[in-house]
Amino acid sequence: MTATRPPAACLIGWPAAHSRSPLIHHHWLRKLGIAGGYVIEAVPPDELQDFVFRLALRGFVGANVTIPHKQRVLKLSKPDERAQAVGAANTLWFADGELCSTNTDVEGFLNNLDACAPGWDAAEEVLVLGAGGAARAVVFGLLERGIKRVHLANRTIARAEALADQFGDKVLPVAWEAFGDLLPRAKLLVNTTSLGMHGQEALDLDVGKLPDDALVSDLVYVPLETPLLVAAKARGLKTADGLGMLLHQAVRGFELWFGQRPQVTAELRALVEADLTGA
């Protein structure tokens, strides 16, 4: 009789990524009573293709993908619409023997907003700060949910213009120096820049100019409470933080690999918070 190994997924990155993903997936495996695993695999760029093509042979049911491989795996798999639009994939799985890829930052962002502020998508005008990789997932998600106007401000305006060219006329590039003028109309403000991150300067923004019913979302999760979120809460505004997005983006990969949809609970959040803060 041959023993079957429990299903396992991995995180492919280089160098070996310090990641909260093992903590999240091990928690769900335990909670759902699934015999399975999740490990970190340090894969240098010149070994990526071979590693991905032999993923199943190595015993993996799928993988997360992180820096610097998120763009290259698109060509090594069958990307869905989200991965193609974002131009990067972070999740691989097998469907009918074929290696597929998606970008779960899109639903991580959307589902976190749904959890923090149901009905947020009634907002007609949204202001997004930043035009890097995370902004692509955010803009794609906002358009998918029917937002009519996405104002996109970026320090390097050419990157905001490139996103507008790709996503169409609902995305309106804004000069970085001019975003303050749009604050009174922004029912949703999303920071996708790295400003406010530990070791970086804070975002210079007056939350007092936002509407009273605005929702403020920050993708940065180190620190958990960025200066932007602290100021928004002090003004009594609704907020959605980066850790919430991180937890929600992990749900789909787990479901695709292990066949059960896990929950983002207060218990999981406390576990990851303690890891982030070293508590």
Of residues 211 and 223, the one with the C-beta less far from ligand NAP: 223
For residue 258, state whether it binds ligand NAP (rule: CB under 6 A): no
Using CB under 6 A as the binding rule, whether residue 89 contacts ligand NAP is answered as: no
Applying CB under 6 A, does 154 fall inside the site for ligand NAP?
A: yes
Residue list 196-225, contact with ligand NAP (CB under 6 A): 197, 219-221
Which of 148, 146, 152 is CA-nearest to residue 170? 148
Token couple for 150: 């996405």
62 binds ligand NAP, rule: CB under 6 A: no
Amino acid 10 reads C
Instruction: Tell me the CB-side half-sphere exposure of residue 98, using CA atoms within 13 A.
Output: 8
Work out whether 133 is an interface residue with ligand NAP (CB under 6 A).
Answer: yes
| Number of Cβ within a 10 Å radius of residue 241 | 22
> Among the candidate windows 95-103, 142-150, 191-199, 226-234, which touches ligand NAP by CB under 6 A?
191-199
CB-based burial of residue 122 (10 Å sphere; 0-12 exposed, 13-18 middle, 19+ buried)? exposed
2 exposure class (CB count in 10 Å sphere: 0-12, 13-18, 19+): exposed
Q: Would you count residue 164 as binding ligand NAP (CB under 6 A)?
A: no
Among 31, 70, 75, 233, the one annotated catalytic: 70
We find the least distance from the C-beta atom of residue 67 to ligand NAP, in angstroms, to be 8
| Residue 225: burial class (beta carbons within 10 Å; 0-12, 13-18, 19+) | middle
180: contact with ligand NAP by CB under 6 A: no
Which residue stretches of 6-132 are H helix? 21-32, 48-53, 81-86, 105-116
**Residue 105 engages ligand NAP in binding (rule: CB under 6 A):** yes
| Region binding ligand NAP by CB under 6 A among candidate stretches 32-40, 47-55, 78-86, 125-133 | 125-133
Looking at this protein, which amino acid is placed at residue 118? P
156 is an interface residue for ligand NAP by CB under 6 A: yes
Sign of the alpha-carbon torsion through 255, 258, 260, 262: negative
- 13 interacts with ligand NAP by CB under 6 A: no
Which of 249, 251, 254, 257 is close enough to bind ligand NAP by CB under 6 A? 249
Q: What letter does residue 174 receive in the DSSP assignment? A: E
In 3D space, the residue among 223, 10, 211 whose CA is nearest the CA of residue 120 turns out to be 211
Shortest reach from residue 4's CB to ligand NAP, in Å: 34
Catalytic, 75? Answer: no
Running DSSP on this structure, what letter comes out for residue 185?
A: G
Stretch touching ligand NAP by CB under 6 A, among 27-35, 132-140, 180-188, 259-267: 132-140
Which of the residues are catalytic? 70
What residue ranges bind ligand NAP (CB under 6 A)? Answer: 105, 108, 130-135, 154-156, 159, 192-195, 197, 219-221, 242, 245-246, 249
